[in-house]
Amino acid sequence: MNRPRGALPHYSCGFAHGRKDAYGGAAVNPPGKMRKRLRLALVVATILLAAGVAYDIKIGPAMYLESATVEFSLPKAQNAPNAYYIYAPSLITSGEVMVQSLMSPSVQHQIDATAGGSASVSLALVNLYNEEYPDYGFPLATLTASSLGAVDAHHAFMTAARVLRLLLAARQQQLGVAPRHRITARILGDSGPIIQTGSHARVFGGLALLAAIAAGLAWNGATRWGARVRPEPGSPRDGDPSPGLL
């Protein structure tokens, strides 16, 4: 090769950036393509999960609830004008004892066996303030029965009311209280079985919001994952030609 005297051959040394496919074109970036597929898969999975939960809520069986106020009343022998103010603390204490008795496992099992075992029953004193600082200022309690069927809910409620009266009478009999001086439990304002449908608009709206948040988190997580696997600019990648003479 002819060249001027004293001239040296010139070589170029460096890295080959970018890859070419078999036809000489630029190859597709595999991490970027994988990142797009991962984001799409996570979003689709989130939407399908939210749709499944919404379908389960929509076709789920409705709950029936029956409730009433229980008043622990003075015996008829105590008919003085100020009798209530004198004996009200005793009535409230009796109500607390009845709540503990009715909610005990043995009595709950008895009510379940009598009512068919398909309903739940609860009794709680009426709280005039809050759970942290309860105020049971009146001898009142709330009796509630719930079940998936209206008939079962009503049957359980009537069974619980009958058991409550029996427990109250038996406790006073054990203490030697004469029948004319015994307190009684009256059922006031029986609601009857009422279906508990709730608000589908609020439920589905909240579910849609949670699904949107989950989809956004999944999208961002896939983006961060893609950023971690992306090679640094100027660094060799798998399959790139080794540095050498060009």
Q: Give the pLDDT band (50/70/90) at residue 57.
A: low
DSSP letter string, 69-118: EEEEE--TT---TTHHHHHHHHHHHHHHHHHHHHTSHHHHHHHHHHHTSS
Q: Averaged over 185-202, what is the pLDDT?
A: 83
| pLDDT higher than 80, residue 246 | no
Q: Regarding beta strands 194-196 and 244-245, do their DSSP bridges make them parallel or antiparallel, or are they unpaired?
A: unpaired
**DSSP 3-state of 125:** strand
pLDDT digits (tens, 9 = 90+) for 3-18: 555 555 544 444 444 4
The neighbouring-strand residues paired with 147 are 64, 119
Nearest to 222 by CA among 51, 19, 45, 18: 45
Q: Are 40 and 234 in contact (CB under 8 A)?
A: no
What integer pLDDT is reported at residue 84 of this predicted model? Answer: 87
Which domains does the chain carry? 20-59+199-245 (no CATH), 63-196 (3.30.70.1130)
Counting Cβ atoms within 10 Å, is residue 46 exposed (0-12), middle (13-18) or buried (19+)? buried
